[in-house]
Amino acid sequence: MNMAENECGCKKEHSDVIVCRCEEITKAEIEKLIQAGFVDIDAIKRATRAGMGMCQSKSCTPIITRMIAQMTGIPMSELKPFTNRAPMSPIKASALISD
């Protein structure tokens, strides 16, 4: 069985390894999407929310990119990174109304 050791030294199956810590997306979830034809990083982001957490994809982008490249044969240099968007902040409705 394919096993890895996590931070506490406990054995954990590779499929249960967390790829996106912010959104708790596992390797198995990403693999299923790639096998289903999701070979665009933004498509995986939309399907799972990977890359939308506090780190804004700094941790998971390299991992997901490598997974897509390994499973599909697409060179990593041809895979576009996640589309970055600025965080939203609420505004008062009155700011939208002109006097």
> SS3 sequence, 24-93?
CEEHHHHHHHHHCCCCCHHHHHHHHCCCCCCCCCCCHHHHHHHHHHHHHCCCHHHCCCCCCCCCCCCCCH
Asked if 21 and 53 count as a contact pair (C-beta separation under 8 A), the reply is: yes
For residue 36, being part of any structural domain is answered with yes
Q: How many other C-beta atoms can be found within 10 angstroms of the C-beta atom of residue 1? A: 5
Of the two residues 7 and 95, the one the predictor is more confident about is 95
For residue 1, being part of any structural domain is answered with no
User: pLDDT grade, residue 6 (50/70/90)?
Assistant: very low
- Per the structure, the complete domain to which residue 59 belongs is given by 20-76
- Number of domains the chain contains: 1
For residue 46, being part of any structural domain is answered with yes
For residue 30, being part of any structural domain is answered with yes
For residue 42, being part of any structural domain is answered with yes
pTM of this structure: 0.69
Residue-wise pLDDT tens digits, 37-68: 999 889 999 999 998 888 888 889 899 999 99
For residue 31, being part of any structural domain is answered with yes
For residue 35, being part of any structural domain is answered with yes
For residue 84, being part of any structural domain is answered with no
Residue-wise pLDDT tens digits, 18-33: 999 999 999 999 999 9
